[in-house]
Amino acid sequence: MSAARVLVVDAANVIGSVPDGWWRDRAGAAARLHAHLVGAVDGGALPYDEVVLVLEGQGRRGVTAGSVDAGSDHDAGSDDAGADQGVVVTVHAAGEGDDEVVSQCRRAVKAGDVVSVATADRGLLARLDGLGVVVVGPRSVRMSPSSSVSAARRP
């Protein structure tokens, strides 16, 4: 079995990367990002087996924690979930989102997965240094679902 491709998304940083009024409705911005990620994984624009969306603060109200199979309306754990579809997992940070992003990256690296993180937060990137995590910029995750993710780099 080959290593899973995992993308951990620092939602606060990705949402904040575009001044589109997100600060007026943080829960709504989180819901829109989640919907975009599900569509992008389903459409092949985000070529990952698992996308972990880390929400903190008011953003947690926008999306229920749990897994969604990007190819269906069913939970990823259901018997009829698509085997070839990626999964979007929403995680609610108990405290600081950065702490949860680090935890999720460490979990995936420990499992032997190929891990990328979507953030431009320099402090967070410093905490991930040495894990072998690939960095993709926040705007690359916010592209239209027909675009591809590019500009990966190591922290």
Q: Which two tokens stand for residue 91?
A: 């995680």
Q: Which two tokens stand for residue 146?
A: 């027909």
With a CB cutoff of 8 Å and minimum separation 6, the contacts of 13 are 118, 119, 120, 121, 124, 138
**Structural domains for the chain:** 5-141 (3.40.50)
Q: Assign residue 132 a region (left: φ > 0; alpha: ψ between -120 and 50; beta: otherwise).
A: left
Burial of 138 (0-12, 13-18, 19+ CB in 10 A): buried
Q: What is the pLDDT of residue 81?
A: 42
Q: Please write the tens of the pLDDT for every residue from 41-81.
A: 999 889 999 999 999 999 999 999 999 998 765 444 444 44
